Structure 1
Amino acid sequence: MKKPVLLLILAIFLHSCDESQFYESTWTDKETENVILNIEKKDGKFWLTQYDQSMEIVDEGKNSYATSSNFDIPLTLDSENNILTIRNVDYILQKNSNKGQFTGNWKNEKGEPSFAVQIDENNDLNWDFKNGDDKSARYYPKPTKNGFHFSIGQYTLSYQISDGFLIDNKGNKYSKDLIQN
């Protein structure tokens, strides 16, 4: 009986010892995935950076906020759903965003074509297609409800993720290369 009680007390203690409820990571707005926030820890403090402005995060449990010399901005983190809310705008971890899920190197199950999808410094999604030994061609897709599409000449290509595979509008399946350089 003593061992289970001790383990329960230890678990409660470790849970209550979290330095902060905020995750060091890159966040993007849930609706458009265009706005980027970074939260990082420097000198024992958490900082929120958006564009060229950095603000210290003061974590007081339910009353957390980002502060600057002129104003405070209330923050709420739903850690169960990984949603950060600032000024009624929901942010999700970039890796969980639509763009983030598409990022990586993808290979057609038949061999060619393959492509690399990346988010650039401007938060744009770039697709570099490679077919055989040809040079890769870069495309900039438009978001759809379930994925992305773009036009190549007279053709419109659409892509979505299903069961861990990237599937195009012709039914071709692409698998993610788990070994990234």
Structure 2
Amino acid sequence: MQIRTYRSGVNRMFLWMGVALVVVAVLLFGAVPVLGWSLTRSPALLGMLLGLPVFGLAGAVMALVGARRRVLVGPDRVTWYGVLGAPSVVLFSEVAHVEVPSGRRGPRAVALHRRDGRVQVIGALAMSSGEGGNSADGAYREAASDLVASHARWWALARGPQQGRTPGRR
């Protein structure tokens, strides 16, 4: 079984919004003032160049957030990347239960209930939030169901055919 990579719809949106913001910044705050100054020689247009680094940096940060946040589901572990820092890895042998919220209110992200009682929230696998509450997009549902199925498969193989049920709350 291979490792599968998932990005939720929120992260894809951040990636493409960041790229679009950089393009708009270059065109609006870069090309327009230079072209306008070359045609009119008005120094007021050069003040618009100050917006280029601000909007360019904001777009680059948004694109970085969207590109970095992802979840990798493997046959025996789940790995996820936040915005900064090293990836977080949890083995399925340490997980008693995978909680997948589906409601419009309440928690937004998938949580791993570990066998030692700790709860690990996977921030990279979260529903979109909006005015009406949480919204589970197709990418979120696919990643969450694959995570639950991989965990159940691992426990079924680890416990053997005579005890094929997964541990934890049901």
- Give me the TM-score of the superposition, normalised by structure 1: 0.22
Larger Rg: 2
- Larger relative helix fraction: 2
Which of the pair has the greater relative contact order for Cα pairs under 8 Å at 6+ separation?
2
